[in-house]
């Protein structure tokens, strides 16, 4: 039985024709300049082989000249924050970038997807924020991906929101912890330096998300290509403006990623178009298709990038990561 969730190549290109959007199928079709294989299947197969051999890193985009801290936030739940965080982080790692993922959601979904132990008592983001532990003492390497380390979240973090209220400079704790890490900074640090720090936020605009917004210079908003997608965005952008004005002038919404795009529905195309009208070039050209492979990967303690590297979901996250790397950090 074929999965009804995977858009066919024909449908995908019909829907997006002339709109400037790229679907996973089109991504698979493109780049024939760089690859001998020109069909989507061959391209996907090549990605599988390259991912297995670690050869993707050899076509790596340039490393940024300083560590880029990207906050993945949207107070709405289920829009693809965690999925995008772990898969973009994994894709960056496959592209030879050195990556740190900070799980800032008490649910610990990013930790699960990256196969990192996060039962109660494991050193975690909680210790970082509440006890002032050093980030370097908390991170663990991701078993599946050599260039990726993770700061896990345990359920203890649920209490941090309240415990932090009485703490001095409570919205600054994560920023301080990240900047104090010896591998965060510019190119003078050397080979081992982190190129990207991705922070996976909880679905709320409380103190945890606030800490992330103060810590990062770049914010990425995943938007699910569904009705109501834009609802709540106003409030989110107001929060960003408030943080920028009072707490972190470096903060910018640099990236919007359309997720769970179903190329068979006119609704998804309509929502995507509306998002692009609002946000212009901030929106990545690549959209992540709705795909069962993406959603089942975490149950195997994997990202889709290793679970099924040739799937449309993996190819689009890889392409989205390339877009982010090529676009570069905003100039200060």
Q: Interface with Mg ion by CB under 5 A: which residues?
A: 81-82, 109
Rounded distance between C-alpha atoms, residue 331 and residue 323, angstroms: 16
Nearer to Mg ion, 12 or 212 (CB): 212
Residue 260 in the binding site for ligand ADP (CB under 6 A): yes
DSSP state of 79: S
Bridge partners (DSSP) listed for residue 71:
199, 219
Query: Angle formed by the axes of helices 266-279 and 9-16, to 10°?
Result: 40
Q: How many Å is the Cα radius of gyration of the chain?
A: 19
Binding partner selected for residue 77 from ligand ADP, Mg ion, none, CB under the kind-specific 5 to 8 Å limit: ligand ADP
DSSP assigned state of 301? T
Any contact of residue 295 with ligand ADP (CB under 6 A)? yes
Binding of ligand ADP by 209 (CB under 6 A): no
Complex with Mg ion: residue 108 or 310, whichever CB lies closer: 108
Q: Which of 19, 32, 58, 77 binds ligand ADP (CB under 6 A)?
A: 77
Residue 22 near ligand ADP by CB under 6 A = no
**Shortest distance, CB of residue 81 to Mg ion, whole angstroms?**
5
Question: Residue 13: exposed, middle, or buried by beta-carbon count in 10 A (0-12, 13-18, 19+)?
Answer: middle
The reply to whether 81 sits near ligand ADP by the rule CB under 6 A is yes
Q: Helix, strand or coil for residue 215?
A: helix
Q: Residue 47 binds what, of Mg ion, ligand ADP, none (CB under 5 to 8 Å, by partner type)? A: none
Give the residue among 254, 274, 117 at the shortest CA–CA distance from 196. Answer: 254
Site pattern 274..293 for ligand ADP (x: CB under 6 A): --------------x-xx--
Q: What is the DSSP secondary structure assignment for residue 118, as one 8-state letter? A: -
Site string for ligand ADP, 82-111 (x = CB under 6 A): xx-------------------------x--
- Nearer Cβ to ligand ADP (184/210): 210
Shortest approach of ligand ADP to residue 2 CB, angstroms?
A: 16
Q: Which residue from 78, 143, 159, 328 is in contact with ligand ADP, where contact means CB under 6 A? A: 78
Within 13 Å and on the Cβ side, how many CA atoms surround 251?
Answer: 27
Tokens of 204: 């709320």
Chain center to CA of 14: 28
Q: What is the dihedral of CA 100, 77, 296, 276, to 10 degrees?
A: -80
Task: Decide whether 81 or 276 has the Cβ nearer to Mg ion.
Answer: 81
Would you count residue 80 as binding ligand ADP (CB under 6 A)? yes
| Segment holding 69, helix H or strand E | strand 68-72
- CB closer to ligand ADP out of 67 and 85: 85
- Site of interaction with ligand ADP (CB under 6 A): 77-83, 109, 203, 259-260, 288, 290-291, 294-295, 313
């Amino acid at each position: 039985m074929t999965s009804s969730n995977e858009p066919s190549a024909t449908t995908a290109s019909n829907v997006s024709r002339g709109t400037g959007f790229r679907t996973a199928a089109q991504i698979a079709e493109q780049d024939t300049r760089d690859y001998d294989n020109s069909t989507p299947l061959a391209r996907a197969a090549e990605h599988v082989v390259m991912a297995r051999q670690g050869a993707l890193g050899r076509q790596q985009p340039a490393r940024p000249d300083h560590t880029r801290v990207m906050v993945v936030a949207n107070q709405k739940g289920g829009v693809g924050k965690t999925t995008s965080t772990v898969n973009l982080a994994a894709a960056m790692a496959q592209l030879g970038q050195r990556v740190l993922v900070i799980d800032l959601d008490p649910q610990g979904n990013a930790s699960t997807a990256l196969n990192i132990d996060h039962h109660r008592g494991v050193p975690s983001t909680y210790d970082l924020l509440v006890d002032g532990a050093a980030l370097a003492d908390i991170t663990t390497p991701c078993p599946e991906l050599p260039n990726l380390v993770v700061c896990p979240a345990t359920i203890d973090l649920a209490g941090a929101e309240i415990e932090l209220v009485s703490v001095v400079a409570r919205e600054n704790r994560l920023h301080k912890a990240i900047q104090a890490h010896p591998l965060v900074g510019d190119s003078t640090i050397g080979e081992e330096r982190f190129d990207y720090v991705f922070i996976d936020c909880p679905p709320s605009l409380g103190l945890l998300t606030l800490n992330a917004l103060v810590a990062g210079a770049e914010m990425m908003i995943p938007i699910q290509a569904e009705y109501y997608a834009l609802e709540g965005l106003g409030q989110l952008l107001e929060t960003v403006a408030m943080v920028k004005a009072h707490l972190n002038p470096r903060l910018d919404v640099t990236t919007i990623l359309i997720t769970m795009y179903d190329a068979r529905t006119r609704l998804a195309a309509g929502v995507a178009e509306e998002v692009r009208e609002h946000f212009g070039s901030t929106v990545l050209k690549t959209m992540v298709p709705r795909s069962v492979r993406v959603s089942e990967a975490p149950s195997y303690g994997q990202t889709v990038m290793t679970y099924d590297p040739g799937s449309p979901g993996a190819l689009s996250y890889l392409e989205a990561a390339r877009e982010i790397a090529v676009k570069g950090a905003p100039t200060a």
